[in-house]
Amino acid sequence: MKVTVFGIGYVGLVQAAVLAEVGHDVVCVDIDQNKVDNLKRGIIPIYEPGLESIVKENSEAGRLRFTTDAAEGIAHGTLQFIAVGTPPDEDGSADLQYVLAVASTIAEHMEDRKIIVNKSTVPVGTADKVAAKVAEVLQKRGVQLEFSVASNPEFLKEGAAVNDCMRPDRIVVGTDSADLKNNHVIDTMKELYAPFNRNHDRMIFMDVRSAELTKYAANCMLATKISFMNEMAGLADRLGADIEMVRQGIGSDPRIGFHFIYPGCGYGGSCFPKDVQALKRTAEDIDFEPLILRAVEERNAQQKNVLFTKLSTHFNGQLAGRTIALWGLAFKPNTDDMRDAPSRVLMESLWQAGATVQAYDPEAMEEAQRIYGLRDDLTLSGTPQAAIKGADALVICTEWRQFRAPDFDQLRELLKEPVIFDGRNMYEPERMRQKGFTYYAIGR
């Protein structure tokens, strides 16, 4: 099938590459000439395991192409995916200007029937706004062309996005046609996703508004589980309980399960913070009080300060002049994404307190450099060992696999003081005490 994807950021690029991988003919459109030129040369703008090879192979095969020419992309695809950003507006709502701009562009150039698919995370009612925008532009052009607007939200996990696309646990499609047995959108989307739907039917069809809400509900539920466990960890710290034992005790209940019940130093990234905020704003706009969403957001904001509080308490508030080693800058492993990362809250608090930071991350060093530039109080170290050399303490913000089994004897020798603040509960407290460390974890 011929597919066009507008926006070659995280979602758009992964989806386009995977569709090309199974044989579809995909054209990607973006306004960033530098990004397009780099992709044509095989330079990927994001770190995502497995993505670079898929982009390269399918580009060489001619199934995946990149352009800044919107008219070329619109002429190419029967399916027009909108995968542009929806950043939070000043009031916390999702900013739809880029989505509607693409809708307008599609309407300006289309010459035949199109299915416009919202892949971006958008508030409930966006499909109606896209349809209205397309109809408005077509009317101004004085042409009558058939078009449909569908919702096909993404459910990708950064660090595992390629696998999530290749082996989706569900494919949600929203369409407002009443005739589900003879529906052009449904038939076309079934054909598009047939290569991913062979073993059992993963496709779930529903009305557009339900599909739009499904995406927000999924992310907000996961964020709620994380914030709930962080709240329980705070209780465990104060009550003398071990949150790891509690996690095992509740996770064994199949109604709860073990997914997303790991306490830590807060969630970050491009999805959870933005989506909780956007759905909260949607609720407020219709005079519905989002009590749980507010609590989730507030607990996460407080959780991102937990490590700094533990550090300050340990050093009796005397952090000025100290050097703190930091392992992990990305908000989670297997990505270089630092958007809303707990590491950023910690570093900025340490700098304000007069401390310096020696940081290491396997993938996010360039991103940290881009965000913070050159600072006297930040050293981006080339190895984990270089980051801890001469530091007063080690803090772990991201649970990268290579941090699971360090040389603790070497670590103890390199640190000024054998103290670890573990924001991801990577080690057993008793083992760390036996190795001579003062060890602070979350809820343990």
Residues forming the active site: 271
Reduced to 3 states, what is the DSSP secondary structure of residue 378? strand
The number of angstroms, rounded, from the C-alpha of 155 to the middle of its chain's C-alpha atoms is 10
Q: Determine the Cα–Cα distance for residues 359 and 333; give it in Å rounded to an integer.
A: 15
Q: Determine the Cα–Cα distance for residues 372 and 382; give it in Å rounded to an integer.
A: 17
Which residues, 6+ apart, have CB-to-CB distance to 440 below 8 Å? 310, 314, 419, 420, 421, 422
Which residues, 6+ apart, have CB-to-CB distance to 370 below 8 Å? none
Reduced to 3 states, what is the DSSP secondary structure of residue 79? strand
**What tokens were used for 273?**
């913070």
- Integer angstrom CA distances of residue 443 from 83, 238, 250, 307, 425: 39, 8, 15, 12, 9
Place of tokens 């579809």: 24
Contact 9, 85 (CB under 8 A): yes
Backbone angles phi, psi at 18, to 5 degrees: -70, -40
Which residues, 6+ apart, have CB-to-CB distance to 218 below 8 Å? 155
Contact 174, 189 (CB under 8 A): no
Reduced to 3 states, what is the DSSP secondary structure of residue 307? helix
Place of tokens 């170290």: 381
Q: Determine the Cα–Cα distance for residues 134 and 177; give it in Å rounded to an integer.
A: 18
Written as one string, the DSSP assignment of 97-155 is: HHHHHHHHHHHHH--S-EEEEE-S---TTHHHHHHHHHHHHHHHHT----EEEEE----
Place of tokens 């060992």: 385
